[in-house]
Amino acid sequence: MTSLSALITAGSRRVPLVNAFRRALRSLGNGRVIVTDVNPLSPAVYCADQAYRVPLALEPGYIDEIVKIAAFERVRLVVPTIDDELTVFAAAVDRFAALGVRVAVSDPTTTELCNDKSAACRALRAAGINAAASFLPHELPSCPAFPLFVKPRFGRGGVGAYAIRNRRDLEFFLGYVHDPIIQTYLDGPEFTVDMLCDFTGRPLAIVPRERVVIRAGVSDRGRTVNDPALISLAQSCASAIRFVGAINIQCRVVGGRPIVFEINPRFSGGIPLTIEAGADFPRMLSLLTLGRHVPPAIGQFRDNLWMTNYEASVFVDADRIALDPLGPARPVAEVA
């Protein structure tokens, strides 16, 4: 049987992603999923085969800890999950490769570009791709057309994002939001396009999802939409920017035309719907890591499949709340 263990960083609430990788690895052999996190009460910790506490992604020694864990656990695939750590991992790809470990992350140029929402939209527009007009505060015209949208230039999860209806709103939120960018207000249905690219940058799967209800920046209720225009948009983005692994493209459809307002080169919060619809990103990534051929399956997924989320809880006895950051591996939760 094939043995392939994967390490998912910043496990946090990503229980569905952890479970999806566990299913994928078990379907291929006897692989295990290891999770890292800074918080021993993160629910994903108790759904993995093994878990470790690590420093914050931007603290010194973070990559050293991940390398140590990957070597000890004989990990062959590392999956970073949050924006803060993407460039850190991108810069360490060769270090992991020396251990025989693949990292599902785009290169530093791409991760830095996408983390800067202003730069990303400018790059897309320069490539002829429909993207929201974006301005830094000093670039705004003297008489801007309202409504507008203000959000952090570097941010995630919809935190600090506000619709701007008039000049009074604009003046207030430009002072309230740290390092803001201003975008044209896109009035239309919102979509996330999940895309998986192989380690050469070739798109393998593309699944558009309508975000019908959004809670805390994550799709709470939504559906898959097999829309050629949205799929073509993702392909154009992949032609303009080299991606590796899972990517999610955020856009709105205005007047029948999809317009990108940001790209996140990582797994999306709504990825369970994409996987359930038949585009099994974790399995495809695992096969790629094993050196198997994975043919493109663009647009091959179950259309108009709805997802509606609910809260679930993990119950843990106090003596199990411990993650060993440095010593030998110690299970936090053994899951059958």
Task: Mark out the alpha helices in 177-291 (DSSP H runs).
Answer: 228-240, 271-276, 281-289
Count the Cβ atoms, other than its own, within 10 Å of residue 168.
9
133-184 folds as: Dna Ligase; domain 1 (3.30.1490)
Q: Where in the chain is the domain with CATH 3.30.1490.20?
A: 133-184
Cα distances from 9 to residues 42, 52, 167, 290, in angstroms, run 12, 10, 42, 20
State which H helix or E strand residue 86 sits in: helix 83-90
User: Looking at residue 217, what is its pLDDT?
Assistant: 73
pLDDT confidence band for 22 (50 / 70 / 90): very high
Is the domain covering 5-104+313-320 a CATH 3.40.470.10 domain? Answer: no
How much is the pTM? Answer: 0.92
CA dist., res. 186 & res. 193, Å (int): 17
Number of helical (H) and strand (E) elements in the chain, helices listed first: 10, 15
Q: Where in the chain is the domain with CATH 3.40.50.20?
A: 5-104+313-320
pLDDT confidence band for 157 (50 / 70 / 90): low
* Per-residue pLDDT reduced to its tens digit, 304-328: 999 999 888 988 888 777 655 433 3
* Per-residue pLDDT reduced to its tens digit, 236-245: 999 999 999 9
Q: What is the CATH number of domain 111-115+187-308?
A: 3.30.470.20
* Per-residue pLDDT reduced to its tens digit, 285-296: 999 999 999 999
What would the mean pLDDT of 133-137 be, rounded to a whole number? 94
* Per-residue pLDDT reduced to its tens digit, 100-131: 999 999 999 999 999 999 999 999 999 999 99
* Per-residue pLDDT reduced to its tens digit, 191-227: 999 999 999 999 999 999 999 988 877 788 999 999 9
* Per-residue pLDDT reduced to its tens digit, 41-95: 899 999 999 999 999 999 989 999 999 999 999 999 999 999 999 999 999 999 9
Q: CB under 8 Å to 173, separation ≥6 — which residues? A: 150, 162, 164, 180
